[in-house]
A and B are shown apart, each in its own frame.
Chain A
Amino acid sequence: MVVGRVHLGPSFGTRRNMVTTKAGVTEPARPAGGVASPARRSPRRYPTRRISADDVRDLLRGVADPEIPTVSIVDLGMVEAIEVRHDHIAIELLPTFVGCPAQQLIRDSVFDALAPLGIPVRAEFTFRVPWTSDRISPFGRERLAASGFAPPAGPGEVRCPYCRSARVAMDSAFGPTQCRSLFYCRDCRQPFEAFKPV
């Protein structure tokens, strides 16, 4: 018995200017009339040599987790791997929480962001590497704080994102989304949310 890898639903993009071939692979749509039948067409080649993983990463800086719109998935540390192959781009994403309901939306946003490259994209969520809050970049932490959302910190290290006070109390470990806890600042008397350290 052979066991495949972890996956969360169909893994190929089917967005905007992409079409699905009989083999279930998505590729850029081509103008009507100029398409040979899939059976007789020779394997397609894409100009992937001109594209680097860094180019892909830069485009992904425009993709945000809808629950944390001020920080890109790159700065959240959700992009584990980018591989530019001869006929497609393979991307491995890490969910922040196992049951994060935004996974499908994030994957669709990845397909949208990379659509201008005109190359099939394969994006997959994996638990191969556990996402941890330590993966958030220093820039990502700054952006979180600037939006009134305390970056993840150990017990006793959480600071109020408004006045930077350390005199804060956790109201509840569970907040409005899976990744957030509720805090209260005793100095500026503001309730605020903090990213759960996981």
Chain B
Amino acid sequence: MTPAVTFEPRVSAALADFLLSMADDEFVIGFSDSEWTGIAPILEEDVAMSSLAQDELGHARALYELLADLRADGHDADALAYDREPEAYRHARLLDHGRGDWATTIARRFLYDTADAARLASVGEGWPPLADLVAKIRREERYHVMHVTLWAERLANGGGEARSRFLDALEALAPDAGSVLASPDGESALIGAGILTRPMADAASAWRADVAAILGPLGITLNLANTEARPARAEHGEAFRWLWGEFTSVRRSEPGATW
């Protein structure tokens, strides 16, 4: 059994924020993936996007459950996922872009999955419940990166409309991509407690190198410097409001319903 760990308030507050941002990221991208169920370009991708959605929503649930345990304020994972107003979600600005067409979906997933991998690689042993979960999640996320990298190559090497749509999508998303690895509040406290092993700025450098190593051979150069002044994880726009209306509709139509 996991030994109980006691943290100072500033560490537990920073940990709670960090868990919420990771959980919201996985929840929002997972829900967007599920929008392809039934309408993906080919049957295999219909199955793949549905399976990816299931993985990501599973990761979100496990992270929300850790957060619910940490806060112990009576809000369970479902309450965290469904009972907040749109402004209270802390997913990255990158995910405020809707799924768009297939090229946008692949470009967004590519930027997110590679950044998420760098974030997961920055989680240390400071809080065993999170370290254990992240070890398990990383084994699954490997497949996500493999899948999206193959698609990035396929679109980039496809030439014509496939390549131009993919490049347009990457260019449109690039200014927001670094939001996934924006430094969380209380980062130094998280590093001090061993919950993170490095600042997110270091993770972002590693991520930019990873992306360049994949896109370079495809003849694509992308400027991933974070030049946006807008906050990384707040002030979500209209596309997210619409998505929020979708994913909370069942919950709002019958509060407290169980399956």
Contact = CB atoms under 8 A, between A and B. Distances in A.
A39 interface: no
B135 A130 contact: yes
Interface residues of A, number: 31
Contact of A173 (B58, B62, B147): B147
A196 B143 contact: yes
Interface of A: 1-8, 97-101, 126-132, 171-178, 182, 196, 198
B133 A6 contact: yes
Nearest to B2: A5
B129 A171 contact: no
B238 interface: no
Main secondary structure, interface of B, reads helix
B139 A132 contact: yes
B2 A99 contact: no
Q: Which of B1, B61, B70 has the most C-beta atoms of chain A within 10 angstroms of its own C-beta? A: B1
A99 B61 contact: yes
Contacts of B65: 6-8
B48 A97 contact: no
Contact of B132 (A3, A128, A176, A182): A128
Given A172-B47, A174-B48, A175-B47, A127 B133 contact: yes
28 contacts: A1-B9, A1-B70, A2-B4, A4-B69, A5-B1, A5-B2, A7-B65, A97-B140, A98-B58, A99-B54, A99-B59, A99-B62, A127-B135, A127-B136, A130-B132, A130-B136, A130-B139, A131-B136, A171-B44, A173-B48, A174-B48, A174-B51, A174-B52, A174-B143, A175-B47, A176-B47, A177-B51, A178-B54
Tier of interface size on chain B: 35 or more
B93 to A, nearest CB: 25
A172 B154 CA distance: 14
Given A3-B69, A4-B4, A8-B65, A174 B58 contact: no
B139 A198 contact: yes
Contacts of A101: 54, 58
A173 B44 CA distance: 9
Contacts of B190: none
Given A5-B1, A176-B47, A198 B58 contact: no
B55 interface: yes
A98 B55 CA distance: 7
B105 to A, nearest CB: 15
